[in-house]
Each structure stands twice: as C-alpha cells, then as structure tokens.
Amino acid sequence: MKQYFNRKNDNTILFSLVSASLAIVCFVAVFKDSKGFSSFSLSAAGPASSPWRPWTTRNLETTPGEIRKQKQLINLENKKQKQKDEKLEKVEAGLERARALIREAVLNPNYSSSSSSEDKDYVPHGDIYRNAHAFHWSYLLMEKLFKIFVYEEGEPPLFHYALCKNIYSMEGFFLSFIETKTKFRIRNPEEAHVYFLPFSVVMIIEHLFDPIIRDKAVLQHTVSDYVRIISHKYRYWNRSLGTDHFMLSCHDWGPLATWYVPELYNNSIRALCNANTSEHFNPKKDAPIPEINLVTGEIKSLTGGLPPSRRTILAFFAGRLHGEIRPVLLQHWKEKDKDVQVYENLPQELSYQEMLKKSKFCICPSGYEVASPRIVEAIYAECVPVLISQHYVLPFSDVLDWDSFSIQVPVSEIPNLKKILMGIPEDQYVRMYERVKMVQRHFVVNNPPLRYDVFHMILHSIWLRRLNELKQAPQVDKVVRRYSKLEKLEAGLARARSSIREAALIRNSTSTHRDSDYVPRGSIYTNANAFHRSYLEMEKLFKIYVYEEGELPLFHDGPCKNIYSSEGSLFRDLEFYNIYRTKDSDEALVFFLPFSVVKLVEYLYVPGDYRIPGIGRAVVDYINTVSTKYPFWNRSLGADHFMLACHDWGPRTSKFVPNLFNKSIRVLCNANTSEGFNPGKDVTLPGLYLTEKLGGLLGGLSPSHRSILAFFAGGEHGHIRSVLFQHWKNSTDRDIQVHKYLPAGVSYNSMMQKSKFCLCPSGYEVGSPRIVEAIYAGCVPVIIKDGYVPPFSDVLNWKTFSVKVEVKEIPNLKNILMNISQRQYLRMQRRVKQVQRHFLVNETPKRFDIFHMTVHSIWLRRLNVQIKDFDDQS
C-alpha cells in the first residue's frame, strides 16, 4: 500500500497531462448512427496533420488516389459504426427478453423451468422476499447475461482502489471484487450492459481534501475531469448521456461527488450507502447499498448470537450523539430503562458485539446521514433491526420485504418505543428472528464472493436499474426531457420544504447538523435546528437571476455610506458575489429587479411633488421591459421576483405596479404592517448607517462597567420620539439619558458602548439603524415602534435579546428596565453579542452574516410560493 501514498498529489497532474495529450494527438469525428444520435470516436493525428483538418475535408492538392483512399476510410468507418450499432441492438434485445421472462415470473408464480428449480446453491423462498420466484429468475438471468465494463483510466489510490476496513469498507471490497474476482467483468466495451466509473470518493477525500481549508473543489475537479476523459476517449457516455454508467460510494459525500456532473447526478446509476430521498436519491435509477463497518477488515466469524429464549435485553443501542434523530432517542431512553438499554458511551465492562447478540431488538437510528452500519450489525447478530430514519431507501428493497424481518418506528413514536416492542407477540418475534437469520446470506461479505452474497446483491440492484432503461437513445430523451426546468426547480423546493419541516420537529437548543463554520445554538433562535437545515438547503439550491436591463446610476447600484447603506451594500453583493447569482435565468428560483429607490429619488424626484410621478414611470417602464423580454414575470405575476429599498418611499414606489406591491417579495427597511408590509411575503432589511469602517462600531464595555441604564440621541421627528422627548429629554434622571443633540465632545458610539440598554424609537417611519447600532455596541435594544416587523424574525427570537416597550408605557420606561434583574440582563447582553454575527457587513460576504441572512429571508419567502408553467395553469 505504501507505494500509493507516495503518489498522493499526482492525480491532478495526471488529468492535466491526459487532457493536454488528448488535445495534441486527437480530434473528434462526429457520426450519425442508425438511431439518429451522435456518437464520438477519436482518431490519432501525427505531427504532419497540422493545421488540423477533418479527414473528410478535401484538400485542393489531393490526388485521385488519395481521394479513393479517403473514401475507403469513410466506408470502413461506416462499416465499423454499423457493426457497433448491431452489437448494441443485440445487447438491448437480450435485455428485452430478460424483462419478458421476469415479467412472466411476477405474473405467474408457478411459472418455472429446470434452471430455476434446480439451483444447487440456493432457491429463494419465504416471506423475506417480495416475490421470491421473480427475484430468482432475475438473479439467474443476471448471471447469464449481465456484462460490466470497468474503465481502466485512472491510477490508485484515487481510482481502482479503496480501503477494505472501517465504516467505508463496502466501497473498498466492491472495487476490489469488480476489478479481479467476478465473471461479470468483460474487456470488450461493445458487449457491456453497464460501464463502471471506478473512482473512490473515500480516497479522493483522504488524499486531496484539506480538512483546514475544506475546499470541496478537489472532489469536483477529480470527478468532472474523469468523466470528461472517458467521454472523449469512448463513445458510450455520450451515446446514453450516462444512463448506462454507474458509480459506487459509501462516503457521506458520495451524492455530492455526482452533483458536479449533471448527467452523472440526474441520469447515471448511483450505488450509494447514503440513500436519502430528501437529498435527491432516486430509487428508480439509484441503488441503495448496505453500509458495513469492518473495523479490522476481517470478514470471518461475524455472524451468530444467542437463541431467542436466552436474549435477556429487549432493545439495545450504543452510539454517539449526532444527527437529528439520536438526540431524541437519547433524551427519552439514555440509561433510563433496563429493558431498553441506550448508551452514548458503552461502559468499559460491556462488549458491544455481545450486547447485540443477547438483545431481541437492535435500535438503528440515523446519524448525520440516513445510512448506518448498525442495520447489518443487527442482522449479523441475529437481532431484529428497529429502523428509525427518515427518507431512507433500504438496501435491496426491490427484492426484500423489510417489514417481515425488521420494525420501522417513526421519530414521533420514539417515546413509545418500549410499548411498541412489548406489544409484539412472542411468536411474531420468533418468526422475525428466523427471517433475520435467513436474510443474513444477502449481507455477508465473502472473499472470493459467493452467489447471493452482498456483492452479488449489489450487482443485482444495478442489473435491475439497467433493466429499467429501454433502448438507450429514445430513453435518454425521456429522462432528460421528462420534466420542465421549472418543474425540477419546484421539485427541489418541495424536498427542501419537507426537510425543513422535519428539522423543525426537533426542538434542541443546538442544531444537530454538522457545519465547519458555525452551528446555530441557544435561545436567540426560534428553532436552531430548523434554521440551520433551511440555511444549508439555501446554500445548496438557491439561485438568483439579476436582470441586466437598466443602466447606472438608477439601476445596479446604491449608496454604501449614509443612512441607506443597507441598500447599497446588498446591491453590491447581489451584483458581484456569485455564490447565489446565476447567469442562466432558467435555473433561477428568484429574479431581482435592480432599481434603486434611493437613486430614483435622487435623480427623478421633483421637490414638492410628492406624487413622485417620474419615479413611478421608471418602475412601471422597467417592469414592462422585463415582462416583455422574458417569460418569468408573467408566469408568476411577479411572485418569484424581489425588489429592495431602504428609502422611506420604498413601499410607495412598489404601489405603482399592483403585482409588485401585492405579490412580489419586497425587501424593505420600512417594514411597517400598517403600510401594507406583509410578513408572509415581504422581508425586513436591517437599517445601517455606515460612515466608517465597521471595526470602529463593534464592541463595548463589559456589563459591570456600563454606567448608563438607557441612552438615546436623535432628531425629534415622528410622534413616538415626541412622546419620548416629552417625558425624558432634559430629565434630571441620569439613568435614562435622552438627547436631541449630544453635548460637544461626547461620542455617540461611546455612549452606546457604555449603556446597558439603547432606546430605538421609530422616527417618521419604523425603519431605523439604531437597532443594528445597539447590537454592534453590545447594548440591549429597547424597541419602541408600532407595526414594525424586526429583521430575520422568522429565525431570531427577539424576546431573548431585546426589550419591546409599548408607546403608552414610555412614561414607565425606567421602572420597566429597572425591573429586569441583573441575571436576566447579563443573559440578554450575552445573546446580543451572539447575534452580532448575523448583522455584520463584510467586504466579501461571510456565511451567516447580514447578506446571507437577508438572502435567507428571501429564500424562505420563495419556499412559500409554488410557480407553474403556463401550460399547467388553469
């Protein structure tokens, strides 16, 4: 093995050299075959062939002899192509016969032949199968017909190799067996039914992924380059757009590895341990494979256990606290019941394997991902698996009837686990126990592989997926064009909604999702787990299209300094920060209307004319332009479009286009419900007043050094400030300091940074930068506003780090604040510091900062809307 590790960084170089070599010595000739789809072949070209010309192009100096030779070459190539097409037709004809025989076996259980009834090794029977006879026929036909071509490109350790021990051992054993110990592999690709892409996600991560930098681009480059090389060298990938190709992975990032090549993700057979339908696992084309943890790589003496009468433990689980389900399990059962024995850390005197072997039921909850080696561990120990997972497609479930030998318990029923298991009669348990012993043969690893073992069952799952594809070229069209692009987008959103809804059921104070940057935790969140799940789904799916129509200064720009800084900052990041922006409008989930209300007012407002007709015309004309040029506004009536404005007139501006006001997502600082702000579809944009670098605004004194109870300084405008000034301006009370103008030499920021509470009253409008200024200063905001929806209030629990005071209670302001205990104040102040990250402005946006939180608010509103194509609308 050591020789592999010395070549750790060679593979990226290998790809570059191979790609360059292809560019130098080969050209692609495109042919039309008898089916009408394009295929590719590579022809060698020597140095004398430069400048390149297709060999079908006639040179002016070509002699008659050379022309005859060229025609002969063309005829020869056409003949070879016809032979290839005939071989493909033979392959497909064999598959069609197999489909017919299996279909007959499904419809007629008594249908038999000598070959199926006289299987010397094993004849499937019993309740563990959905249809034992159909499975047996399919398996025998697989053995007779199935041929796999393994691409030889690529070198270990990233290709053709993986470790055969640890939690990813199934990946290593499969790669080893498919390369060396199977009759299914052939050397002639023309005879193959499927083509195996032999990269190992486990080894790519081990050798190329930097755990500190955490850049997954190495995964993208390796997989994308490999597919590009084999698609250039061979015709098979392009012939089927990958539908007859398969990859295999047991790593959690296996699905992610396929995402970088759309055809691999959408069309190819993906054999995955992490078979999660909420992460786009498609049971019709993807194959779920079992996760097996061979700690030492040893495969002998793994099965067996006590008979039912000597199993003294009702149910057992031991494992780490991670994922969404295990915290619920441990919360209810951790070391609380002698019958249901649940441990986070197993006591040293107990053996994990022995505990499995003397338990009736073995609890198999999902961890971070749905797959778990505990299912196979339970089967090996002859212990009935209790499956607690969501969206998990069980291994070999096309063939096996899991209900006959396992128990599936919904997450919501975890508190009733003991009652459920105690309610299973003894005779039913014994039958299930016998079926577990019976199904063992399908999960055992043998070296060399034996018929019906786990290796052959994985192959059979791939065989079934290949049978699901009819003739390649026509079927490719069905796969690719089956759904419109919009339907695919909406399907992705539906899965995201489901995933977030399930995460919301787990009300932990800390998110159960892994994240290298930040894990939301604590009472500042309404539901940390649901927020984190939603945020991760957003990062994965959300795409924004920015209309390019319109020119500066009215469009595509906004002020980044002054009281409207939020507008300019968000404009800048949406225009130039490419993590969410897409140039392909068909990929977009939302569409940004990039007019700046601040700039419209600056350039088009006629002083004294508060009807603002010029501004209205500009907005109406812009909507007319994009709705005429693109189909997206009319398709949704603006429901998947958004505008943003920090100017007080932002809401008024949207009223010039009724659908913009009533249907579109309006991102507004002036988030006033009494002026038509709708929290169900509109987004509150935090007000910012940036006049300097952010560093000077952050920080403040420790709580024990904050000598001022409450502070405010600002102009007297709006009815709320008038009430506040009436009661507290020029007051002799030194605890509540309210100023219209600060005394000379007194710093506004320093006053906030030494105050416990910072008063944030509305002015003429509800939006105000004072809330964010207070958070920056580590000062607990006191919100005095009517009809105001605070920023990010879908996610943040403002009651935990701010105080809301009704206007009528302004005279009692000091009593209200003095009645907040020191202990409660300290907790609130800590939470203010914790929530700061969500309001920070960064030159380049950082995860969870104000830019991403605003985008997340837009994402949540888009989740609330379902758009249809025109021809689907009634």
Residue 494 identity: A
Asked whether the beta carbons of 123 and 117 are under 8 A apart, the reply is yes
Q: By three-state DSSP, how is residue 630 classified?
A: coil
383 by Cβ neighbours in 10 Å (0-12 / 13-18 / 19+) ranks as buried
Question: Which of 623, 592, 777, 617 lies closest to 701, judged by CA?
Answer: 777
Q: What angle do the packed helices 201-208 and 217-233 form, to 10 degrees?
A: 130
Residues 507 and 574 reside in one and the same domain: no
| Rounded-to-integer distance, Cα 593 and Cα 218, Å | 35
Structure token digits, residue 276: 């999660």
Residue located via tokens 């990041």: 573
Once rounded to an integer, what is the mean pLDDT over residues 584-591?
96
CA distance 166 to 180: 21
Helix (H, G, I), strand (E, B) or coil at 509: coil
Mean pLDDT of 639-652: 95
Mean pLDDT, residues 830-835: 98
Residues 679 and 718 grouped into a single domain = no
Q: Where are the beta strands (DSSP E) in 578-673?
A: 590-592, 641-645, 665-668
What are the CA-CA distances from residue 308 to residues 314, 353, 383, 429, 646 (Å)?
11, 16, 9, 9, 70
Phi, psi of 288 (to 5 degrees): -75, 130
pLDDT reported for residue 492: 87
Asked whether the predicted pLDDT for residue 703 surpasses 80, the reply is: yes
Quick check: is 328 in a domain?
Answer: yes
> Does a structural domain hold residue 821?
yes
Please report, for the chain, how many H helices and E strands are present, in that order.
Answer: 32, 23
Provide the pLDDT for residue 50.
Answer: 28
Q: Is residue 102 part of a domain?
A: no
Give the residue numbers spanning the domain of 228. 146-293+459-481
Strand partners, 672: 788
Maximum alpha-carbon separation in the chain: 111
Give the closest residue to 844 by CA, choosing from 475, 505, 446, 572: 572
* 676 and 571 part of one domain: yes
- What do you get for the CA distance between the two ends of the chain, in Å? 64
Q: Are residues 623 and 519 in the same domain?
A: no
Structure tokens at 602: 């600056």
Name the more confident of 714 and 76: 714
User: For the chain, what is the domain count?
Assistant: 5
DSSP one-letter code for 686: P
Looking at residue 15, its pLDDT comes to 32
Choosing from 443, 473, 505, the residue where a domain stops is 443
Tokens of 383: 């212990």
Whole-number mean pLDDT of the chain?
Answer: 86
CA dihedral for 415, 417, 420, 422, sign (positive or negative):
negative
| Cα distance between residue 40 and residue 84, in whole Å | 12
Provide the residue type at 92 as one letter.
E
Residue 579 resides in a domain = yes
Average pLDDT over residues 210-236: 87
218 and 288, same domain (yes or no): yes
Residues 788 and 762 sit within 8 Å (Cβ to Cβ):
yes
- Identify whether 176 is part of a domain: yes
Shared domain for 263 and 382, answered yes or no, is: no
* Integer Cα distance of 752 and 711 in angstroms: 7
* Distance in angstroms (rounded) separating the CA atoms of residues 438 and 159: 35
Report the alpha-carbon distance of residue 74 to residue 6 in Å, rounded: 47
Q: How many Å apart are CA 660 and CA 378, to the nearest integer?
A: 57
Spatial contact of 314 and 422, defined as CB atoms under 8 Å apart: yes
Instruction: Return the pLDDT at 87.
Output: 80
In the chain, % of residues over pLDDT 90 = 69
Is residue 612 in some structural domain? yes
CA angle at residue 252 from 249 to 258, to 5 degrees?
A: 55
Asked if residue 792 lies in contact with residue 684, where contact means CB atoms within 8 angstroms, the answer is: yes
737 assigned to some structural domain: yes
Q: What's the token pair of residue 526?
A: 């309404």
- We report the CATH number of the domain holding residue 764 as 3.40.50.2000
pTM over 0.75? The answer is no
832 and 704 in a common domain: yes
60 is a domain residue: no
Task: Please spell the DSSP secondary structure of 492-505, one letter per residue.
Answer: HHHHHHHHHHHHHT
Instruction: Detail the DSSP E strand segments found in 117-226.
Output: 148-150, 185-186, 194-196
Q: Express each pLDDT in 81-108 by its tens digit.
A: 555 667 888 888 888 888 888 888 887 6
Rounded to whole angstroms, the Cα distance separating 360 from 319 reads: 18
Q: What is the mean pLDDT of residues 514-533?
A: 94
Tell me: pLDDT of 636 over 50. yes
Q: Look up tokens 């192509």; give the residue.
A: 81
CB-CB contact of 115 with 137 (8 Å): no
Distance (Å, whole) CA 631 – CA 474: 30
Residues linked to residue 40 through DSSP beta bridges, in sequence order = 30
Q: Tens digits of per-residue pLDDT, 187-216?
A: 999 999 999 999 999 999 999 887 777 777
Name the percent of the chain lying above pLDDT 70: 86
pLDDT tens across 756-807, in order? 999 999 999 998 899 999 999 999 999 999 999 999 999 999 999 999 999 9
What's the rounded mean pLDDT across residues 809-819? Answer: 97
Clarify whether residues 505 and 575 are in a common domain.
no
Asked if residue 234 has pLDDT above 90, the reply is yes
Containing H/E element for 784? strand 780-784
The most confident of the ranges 293-297, 741-745, 823-827 is 823-827
Q: Are residues 355 and 437 located together in one domain of the fold?
A: yes
Residue 593 and residue 645 share a domain: yes
Residues 553 and 605 in one domain: yes
The answer to whether residues 205 and 257 belong to one domain is yes
Structural tokens at position 154: 């690529």
